[in-house]
A and B are shown apart, each in its own frame.
Chain A
Amino acid sequence: DAKTTQPPSMDCAEGRAANLPCNHSTISGNEYVYWYRQIHSQGPQYIIHGLKNNETNEMASLIITEDRKSSTLILPHATLRDTAVYYCIVRVHEGGTSYGKLTFGQGTILTVHP
């Protein structure tokens, strides 16, 4: 799986949008971009994933650049409960069988301030 690079930490004011960048310059054509987060003392939680189109769900939006070498996770209105470590992961989807290995990096510690 391609390596990802994320800033070690970011701050955001409550109510503002949090934009978390991820660089994955060596991503290959069959690798998806995934985002998980881990709130303190909890297991990781899936947020969103995409291949090349921008994606949005109830939690966040994922913006992938046209060359797919980087992406941004957007939390539109950050709350204190969004304080967590955010992991950007690239992963192959292997046909009809999803070999589910997730390789976690160090992630970005997002701190949302009142």
Chain B
Amino acid sequence: DAGVIQSPRHEVTEMGQEVTLRCKPISGHNSLFWYRQTMMRGLELLIYFNNNVPIDDSGMPEDRFSAKMPNASFSTLKIQPSEPRDSAVYFCASSFTGQETQYFGPGTRLLVL
């Protein structure tokens, strides 16, 4: 079992550039979550998908952030344009409805200069 796969693991970009983070959930899982972690705010949920449909995006900071899940095995989180305050570690997690455990990926460390 490969676990949740995220790419890239590290991303350094300049302010104003578009950033795309990718996630492959565990096969068979039907729920997917994007979290962001910073020193100031800790771990916070950005968006939650169930069966590829966005259920709760109330944590998405602003219109610069968007997330998609075109199929059960792939999701993207896009930031356009990026700003220095977006620098954080972004985690993707997946689970299966009826099982209460979320499995987290290794995260993507984003630095916006």
Query: What is the interface of chain A, defined by CB distance below 8 A to chain B?
Result: 32, 34, 38, 42-46, 49, 87, 93, 96-106
Contact = CB atoms under 8 A, between A and B. Distances in A.
A43 B31 contact: no
Interface stretch (B12-20, B69-77, B78-86, B98-106): B98-106
Contacts of B99: 98
Contacts of A87: 43
Interface of B: 4, 31, 33, 42-45, 48, 50, 55-56, 91, 93, 95, 97-107
Contacts of A46: 101-103
A44 B43 contact: yes
Contacts, number: 58
B97 A43 contact: no
B104 A44 contact: yes
A98 B31 contact: yes
A101 B93 contact: no
A91 to B, nearest CB: 8
A15 B112 CA distance: 42
